[in-house]
Amino acid sequence: MHSMPPITAVLALSALSGAAAADLTWVQFQDPAEHAFIVQVPQGWHVTGGAFRFGPLDPRAMVEMVSPDGKMRLRLGDSGVPPYAVPDQTIGRSAMREGSRYSPHGVAQEVVANYLPGWVFADLYGQARFAPMCRTLDLKQMQQLPVVYASSGAQQVTAGEAIYRCDSVSGAGPMTAYVFAETQLTRMQTTAIWQVTWLYSFLAPEEQAATALKLMLHAMSTFQIDQQWERYQLRLNGQAGNSAYHLFQQTMAQEQNHFQHQEAQFQQQVDAFSRALRCVA
Confidence (pLDDT) at 164: 96
Confidence (pLDDT) at 262: 47
Which tens digits make up the pLDDT trace of 261-271? 445 555 566 66
Report the range out of 45-59, 101-115, 118-132 with the highest average pLDDT: 118-132
Cα 244 from Cα 58, distance rounded (Å): 8
Confidence (pLDDT) at 5: 31
Report pTM. 0.79
pLDDT tier for residue 232 given thresholds of 50, 70 and 90? confident
**Cβ-count burial 76-89 (b if 16+ within 10 Å, e if not):** bbbbebbbbbbbee
Q: Which residues contact 202 (CB under 8 A, 6 or more apart)?
A: 72, 73, 74, 75, 177, 178, 212, 213, 216
Whether 8 shows a pLDDT value over 50: the answer reads: no
Average pLDDT, the chain: 80
Confidence (pLDDT) at 15: 42
Share of the chain above pLDDT 90, in %: 49
Whether 241 shows a pLDDT value over 90: the answer reads: no
Confidence (pLDDT) at 188: 77
Which tens digits make up the pLDDT trace of 125-154? 999 999 999 999 999 999 999 988 766 666
Cα 165 from Cα 172, distance rounded (Å): 13
Amino acid at 227: Q
Count of CB atoms situated within 10 Å of the CB of 238: 11
Confidence (pLDDT) at 265: 56
| 104-127 mean pLDDT | 91
